[in-house]
Amino acid sequence: MSFLSATLLLFLVMDPFGNIPLFLAILRRVSPERRRWIVTRELLFALAILVFFLFFGVPLIHILQIDNSSVGIAGGVVLFLIAIKMIFGGTDTLFANAGDSEPFVVPLATPFIAGPTTMAIVLLLMAGDPTAWPVWLGSLFVAWLVTSIVLIASSSLNEILGTRTIIAIERLMGFILATIAVDMFMKGISTFVAALNTAGA
């Protein structure tokens, strides 16, 4: 996977446009100035979590003795489910009434940004080619940076684009993610079959 494709994949999984309504709902009682500080802080927490998982996720796989093809297949399945939700499910409002206290790490940093799927992707990238960690780290940072710009400007974007446009963008991103998920799943199957053929020979 190239730098560009890894960056696009991480950006799609972080789903900043889908998170705009969630962020606005949770921070609805917070002043705009304070809101920007909270969003920035939570984004930094999310980046720290993902960087930690980028470098320490693969050793965990080795400890659990999980094959790389299994990670690829599982990643493809999870991505496909996320894509289906983005296309057909609309916005999750589970945390829309999460109380009036300021969020801290949960739920903005995780699971909204650094969720299980995003962690699985950074793990999958490192498992596929650990020597390319500067590329994966750069991809993670660029995807996080673009996501940060979208979420910090969430109030303005919501007013300019409107809810229907944001939902349309999210569905388009979901379709792109679905195609990536199918490709990842098929590559995982191919790797598994190749390993079986090698073992049989």
Distances (CA, A) of 86 to 18, 74, 97, 131, 176: 8, 18, 21, 33, 10
* Domain locations along the chain: 3-193
Mapped onto helix, strand or coil, the DSSP state of residue 106 is strand
The neighbouring-strand residues paired with 104 are 106
Rounded to whole angstroms, how far apart are CA atoms 48 and 66?
25
- Tell me the pLDDT of the chain averaged across its residues: 83
The residue with greater pLDDT, 141 or 182, is: 141
Q: What is the pTM of this model?
A: 0.76
Q: Which amino acid is at 10?
A: L
Give tens-digit pLDDT for 109-136: 887 898 878 888 898 899 888 999 999 9
CA 132 to chain centre: 20
Answer for the pair 73, 185: CB distance below 8 angstroms, yes or no: yes
pLDDT band, residue 89 (cuts 50/70/90): low
Q: Which two tokens stand for residue 198?
A: 């090698």
Rounded to whole angstroms, how far apart are CA atoms 148 and 162?
19
Q: Which residues in 152-184 are b (16+ Cβ under 10 Å) and which e?
A: bebbebbeeeeeeebbebbbebbeebbebbeeb
Give tens-digit pLDDT for 19-49: 888 888 888 888 878 888 999 999 999 999 9
**Which of 30-44, 68-82, 93-107 holds the top average pLDDT?**
30-44
Rounded to whole angstroms, how far apart are CA atoms 175 and 24?
25
pLDDT band, residue 91 (cuts 50/70/90): very low
pLDDT of res. 201:
58
Angle at 197 between CA 193 and CA 199, to 5 degrees: 115
Answer for the pair 39, 155: CB distance below 8 angstroms, yes or no: no
Q: Which two tokens stand for residue 192?
A: 């598994």
